[in-house]
Amino acid sequence: MKIAFFDTKPYDIASFDKIKDTANISIKYFETKLSLDTCALAKGAEAVCVFVNDTVNAAVIDKLSELDVKIIALRCAGFNNVDLDRARERQIAVLHVPAYSPYAVAEHAMALLLCSVRRIHKAYIRSKDFNFSLTGLAGFDLHGKTVGVIGTGRIGRAFIDLCRGFGMNILAYDKFPNKSLDVTYTDTDTIFQDSDIISLHCPLTEETYHIINEKTLDMMKKGVIIVNTSRGALIDTNALIESIKDRRVGAACLDVYEEESDVFFRDNSGHIMDDDTLARLISMPNVIVTSHQAFLTEEALNNIAETTVENIIEFSTKGSCKNNLA
Ligand code: NAI
């Protein structure tokens, strides 16, 4: 079994090389992302392995089909970058890793929230410069605050558990509420109106695209903190920036960004930032941006590698796989 591996990072090689020999697969690693221009690199491979910002649209799938690729193995949970209908038409399996560590993402969401609320990002820089002044660092207690959680799947539930530990009140919204979950479900309007903190844990779909927009931002409490570790396009970034400038949104903690695919996962430090929207966001003292790293723990990386390889082996030996989306 030959796999063409796109958008490779050193941590991918470390986790996949650990298991590839025992699984009897050969992996060719490419630094470049999968796109129409790079598809040809998959020649001779039965499977391509891709991540969140690879392009897997209809044109790319057609090309992969011409190359006789049978499997698109996502080494992530989200699949909004894949044209599943076209994959079905072309009879290419789309395998994903539904769960690898919800704790990794939930803990990162909480880390961003704590960092923002207690101004750790500011204090860290100050103390590096021996500036021990406390002016401007006043935060607030999370205890007793209301957090609105949108999406109560694996990650949302893990995040709710963490919030409970902090003594927060929880409001939840999910299109498909989980009846066994001990939480107060409500509608999105109530979440927007009553929450001190809103954390997004739903997938990106046509319905959830820009779920945070000018209208919904207007409904929110003054000073609300928005946490997004899910997908960038859940938020209309320009509307968010306007609300921060108007001092209505108190802070934003973002691990994802709607135009992230051109900038995240690489070192842009020696370049002029072309993306003015991202530059504006990053310039704001109450915005924390991390580069889609919520998943990045040792446990998650090992689980991702194991499940991705198991998926590929299961499909190639049985012709079906429980994690096939297509
Ligand atoms: P999950 O599938 O376990 O849960 C998603 C929940 O969202 C489900 O309960 C589902 O019913 C709900 N949902 C679906 N449509 C909805 C809608 N229109 N409105 C509200 N809720 C809706 O997924 P999981 O594992 O909890 O992941 C959630 C999201 O986190 C993923 O879709 C992905 O975008 C993101 N993610 C981000 C990572 C990162 O590194 N930043 C890593 C892994 C996932």
CATH of the domain at 53: 3.40.50.720
Q: Using an 8 Å Cβ cutoff, are 73 and 311 in contact? A: yes
Check residue 20 and give its pLDDT: 85
Q: Is the CB of 78 within 6 Å of ligand 1?
A: yes
Same-domain status, 72 and 144: no
Same-domain status, 81 and 189: no
Q: What is the spatial distance between Cα 312 and Cα 252, in angstroms, rounded to a whole number?
A: 38
Task: Give, for ligand 1, the residue of 190, 201, 253, 308 to mutate: max count of ligand atoms closer than 8 Å to Cβ.
Answer: 201
Beta-ladder partners of 253: 227, 288
Q: How far is the CA of 113 from the centre of ligand 1 (A)?
A: 19
Active site residue 247: no
Closest residue CA from atom 32 of ligand 1 = 203
Burial class (CB in 10 A: 0-12, 13-18, 19+), 311: buried
Same-domain status, 113 and 45: no
Q: How far is the CA of 232 from the centre of ligand 1 (A)?
A: 12
Same-domain status, 61 and 127: no
Check residue 270 and give its pLDDT: 94
Check residue 284 and give its pLDDT: 97
Residue 325 lies in a domain: no
- Which of 158, 46, 56 lies closest to 111, judged by CA? 158
Q: Which atom of ligand 1 is nearest to the CA of 76?
A: 43
Same-domain status, 239 and 132: yes
Same-domain status, 209 and 231: yes
Closest residue CA from atom 16 of ligand 1 = 175
Q: What is the pTM of this model?
A: 0.92
Which one-letter amino acid corresponds to residue 80?
Answer: N
Residue 53 lies in a domain: yes
Q: How many residues does the chain have?
A: 326
Same-domain status, 7 and 124: no
Q: How far is the CA of 307 from the centre of ligand 1 (A)?
A: 18
Question: In the numeric block, which tokens belong to residue 153?
Answer: 């799947």
Residue 241 lies in a domain: yes
Residue 139 lies in a domain: yes
Closest residue CA from atom 19 of ligand 1 = 175
Number of domains in the chain: 2
Q: Is the CB of 175 within 6 Å of ligand 1?
A: yes
Q: Is the CB of 223 within 6 Å of ligand 1?
A: no
Closest residue CA from atom 42 of ligand 1 = 295
Phi, psi of 54 (to 5 degrees): -75, 150
Beta-ladder partners of 26: 2
Residue 324 lies in a domain: no
Same-domain status, 277 and 146: yes
Residue 326 lies in a domain: no
Active site residue 121: no
Residue 196 lies in a domain: yes
CB atoms closer than 10 angstroms to residue 193: 16
Q: Is the CB of 202 within 6 Å of ligand 1?
A: yes
Same-domain status, 217 and 285: yes
Q: Is the CB of 130 within 6 Å of ligand 1?
A: no
Beta strands in the chain (DSSP E): 2-5, 26-29, 47-50, 71-74, 93-95, 146-150, 169-173, 184-185, 197-200, 224-228, 249-254, 287-289
In the set 292, 298, 299, 314, the catalytic residue is 292
Same-domain status, 134 and 275: yes
Check residue 163 and give its pLDDT: 98
Same-domain status, 169 and 276: yes
Residue 186 lies in a domain: yes
Same-domain status, 272 and 307: no
Give the model confidence (pLDDT) of 226-241 as tens digits. 999 999 999 999 999 9
Range of the domain at 13: 2-100+297-318
Per-residue pLDDT tens listing for the chain (326 residues)? 999 999 999 999 999 999 988 888 999 999 999 999 999 999 999 999 999 999 999 999 999 999 999 999 999 998 999 999 999 999 999 999 999 999 999 999 999 999 999 999 999 999 999 999 999 999 999 999 999 999 999 999 999 999 999 999 999 999 999 999 999 999 999 999 999 999 999 999 999 999 999 999 999 999 999 999 999 999 999 999 999 999 999 999 999 999 998 899 889 999 999 999 999 999 999 999 999 999 999 999 999 999 999 999 999 999 999 999 99
